[in-house]
Amino acid sequence: MSTLDRLRGIVQGTKPSAVPVVSPELARSESDGFSHRLPATAEAVAIRTSDAAIVLGGTVRERAEGAVIIVDREYRADDLHGFRRIGDIIEALQENQDALATMARAWPSAKGVSGTAGTEVPALLFLDLETTGLFTGAGTQAFLVGCAAIDGDSIRVRQFLMPGFEHERAVLAELAAWAAAHGALVTYNGKTFDVPLIETRFLFHRLPFPLAETPHLDMLHPARRLWRGRPTAAGPDPDASSCSLSVLEKHLVGLHRVGDVPGFEIPSRYFQFVRDGDARPLEAVLEHNRLDLVSLAAVMARALTLVSRGPLESSNPHECFGLARLYERGGSPEHAEGALLRCIELAKRIGTEPDVHADGLRRLAWIRRRGGRVHEAAEAWRELAVLPRCAAVLRHEAKEALAIYHEHRSRDLGTARSLVLDVLSGNLEGNRKVAAEHRLQRLDRKLAVREQGGLVAALDDTLQTGQ
């Protein structure tokens, strides 16, 4: 057996997961395999690149570091993205600086993302990468860097496509230049994925990372707060409870993509392109990336509108609850309370959402207590304690909290005692049980003292008069 045959045996014997996934329409004929047409000369490479640019509707920019294919698209004010007007999205992004400031307070890495008095409003740069893999190690590259920014009354998308692996430094240089012209970064899951990955690429080439100090709002986090608990009324979508951008764009923007390229297929489409130079399969990838960018802007616009206008903007108790959590995180408990009241009111009206109703009451109680308004907090606990179909854990918590209230604040020891007895009649375990029993003992002691209190006072009187 020749070494070559042995090598083939070893390589092909490896597990299939090591072989790129290629969709049927992309798979070349068997004989073609992964054969690779190496261009003969530098000119041939250049021609390949310019052909690809033409296919994708872009241009080639030659830099000292290599070539980049740049594809520009403009989304004008009157264009629709789902059922949202681009112009409305832009307006929401620009008008709601107060909401942006709330988010920046809630997520410190976004500090500086909003304009403050006296400073210029930083230009937002929406960023989304398409990569050669999901693992953020040294061998995963961003072959497409998609950027979007507001330009007058349109959204301008600029995509940097790497014509071949050897051109990566050129793409990074373009990104650095583009980033320098913008003040803040907006991504979706960018804190975990896109930004560390692109940082790794700069580090790989031992270049300074230009985005290190740039304020960065990862919209995934506010989106999770606001929309994780959406009711699944929208249908049996298995993904409905997820907060992926593709789910949110359906629910919030009404965008239904047709012929979208599935995410897992994206790397292999690019690998195919570098092998044979045919850019046509990439068109769908670029379109996917552009839609992601505009959807990101749209989701952010919706979040800002909601945060800015407040809970009356929403008719969904889950969304109101999420909004309250966001306000709380952003340091506005008074707004949070308003959102919770709206959440409770909506839940009451709907009647089929006991969980969010209970969560709302619990949160409300805590916020009031933290604000020193113990009597109002007790009201919320009282409501929660009698809420039908409420989870037993929450009901116990409410009764315990009320017992504390009655023991220490209202000094109604009898009510406190009956609440504790009530709690103890349930299935309590571990520390909670011990705490409840302890409380009961203490209450009994106090009650005993109080009963004797009269006697002691009488005795005191006697002694005093005796003197």
Q: Which of the ranges 32-40, 233-241, 346-354, 367-375 carries the binding residues for another protein, by CB under 8 A?
A: 32-40
How far apart are alpha carbons 446 and 416 in whole angstroms? 11
The answer to whether 463 contacts another protein (rule: CB under 8 A) is: no
How far apart are alpha carbons 61 and 39 in whole angstroms? 20
Give the residue with the Cβ less far from another protein, 5 or 120.
Answer: 5
Nearest approach, Cβ of 204 to another protein (angstroms)?
4
Exactly one of 24, 108, 118, 137 binds another protein (CB under 8 A); that residue is 137
Extract the runs of DSSP E, i.e. beta strands, from 64-207: 66-75, 80-81, 84-85, 124-131, 142-151, 154-161, 184-187
Give the residue with the Cβ less far from another protein, 284 or 421.
Answer: 284
DSSP states along 247-277: HHIIIII----SSPPPGGGHHHHHHHHHHH-
Q: Which of residues 33-62 bind another protein (CB under 8 A)?
A: 33-36, 38-42, 44-45
Nearest approach, Cβ of 214 to another protein (angstroms)?
19
The answer to whether 32 contacts another protein (rule: CB under 8 A) is: no
- Could you report how far apart the first and last alpha carbons of the chain are, in Å? 119
Give the residue with the Cβ less far from another protein, 22 or 77.
Answer: 22
In 3D space, the residue among 128, 127, 96, 126 whose CA is nearest the CA of residue 114 turns out to be 96
CA distances from 370 to 206, 333, 348, 375, 379 (A): 49, 10, 25, 12, 14
In 3D space, the residue among 363, 396, 394 whose CA is nearest the CA of residue 380 turns out to be 363
Count CA atoms within 13 Å of residue 274 on its CB side.
15
Nearest approach, Cβ of 143 to another protein (angstroms)?
10
Q: Which of the ranges 160-168, 319-327, 360-368, 457-465 carries the binding residues for another protein, by CB under 8 A?
A: 160-168
**300 three-class SS:** helix
Cβ burial of 343 (10 Å; 0-12, 13-18, 19+) is buried
Exactly one of 31, 32, 117, 206 binds another protein (CB under 8 A); that residue is 206
Stretch 211-250: interaction string toward another protein, x if CB under 8 A: ----------------------------------------
Q: Which of the ranges 202-210, 375-383, 398-406, 414-422 carries the binding residues for another protein, by CB under 8 A?
A: 202-210
Exactly one of 20, 82, 87, 122 binds another protein (CB under 8 A); that residue is 20
CA angle 319, 321, 326 (to 5 degrees): 90
Exactly one of 27, 123, 138, 448 binds another protein (CB under 8 A); that residue is 138
The answer to whether 3 contacts another protein (rule: CB under 8 A) is: yes
Nearest approach, Cβ of 275 to another protein (angstroms)?
6
Return all residues near 448 (Cβ < 8 A) that are at least 6 apart.
none
Give the residue with the Cβ less far from another protein, 36 or 256.
Answer: 36
Give the residue with the Cβ less far from another protein, 141 or 159.
Answer: 141
How far apart are alpha carbons 337 and 227 in whole angstroms? 18
Tokens of 170: 């050129």
Nearest approach, Cβ of 245 to another protein (angstroms)?
20
Give the residue with the Cβ less far from another protein, 49 or 102.
Answer: 49
Exactly one of 72, 166, 260, 461 binds another protein (CB under 8 A); that residue is 166
Give the residue with the Cβ less far from another protein, 15 or 256.
Answer: 15
How far apart are alpha carbons 161 and 158 in whole angstroms? 10
Give the residue with the Cβ less far from another protein, 140 or 244.
Answer: 140
Residue 259 CA, chain-centre distance (Å), reads 25
User: What stretches of 351-429 show up as alpha helix (H) in DSSP?
Assistant: 354-370, 374-385, 392-404, 413-425
Exactly one of 26, 83, 165, 441 binds another protein (CB under 8 A); that residue is 165
Nearest approach, Cβ of 167 to another protein (angstroms)?
9
**458 three-class SS:** helix
Exactly one of 7, 27, 54, 456 binds another protein (CB under 8 A); that residue is 7
Tokens of 130: 């398409």
Q: Which of residues 76-135 bind another protein (CB under 8 A)?
A: 132-135
Nearest approach, Cβ of 130 to another protein (angstroms)?
12
Give the residue with the Cβ less far from another protein, 4 or 455.
Answer: 4
Task: Read off the amino acid at residue 186.
Answer: V
Give the residue with the Cβ less far from another protein, 11 or 448.
Answer: 11
Residues binding another protein (CB under 8 A): 1, 3-4, 6-12, 14-15, 17-21, 33-36, 38-42, 44-45, 132-140, 164-166, 200-201, 203-204, 206, 267-268, 271, 274-275
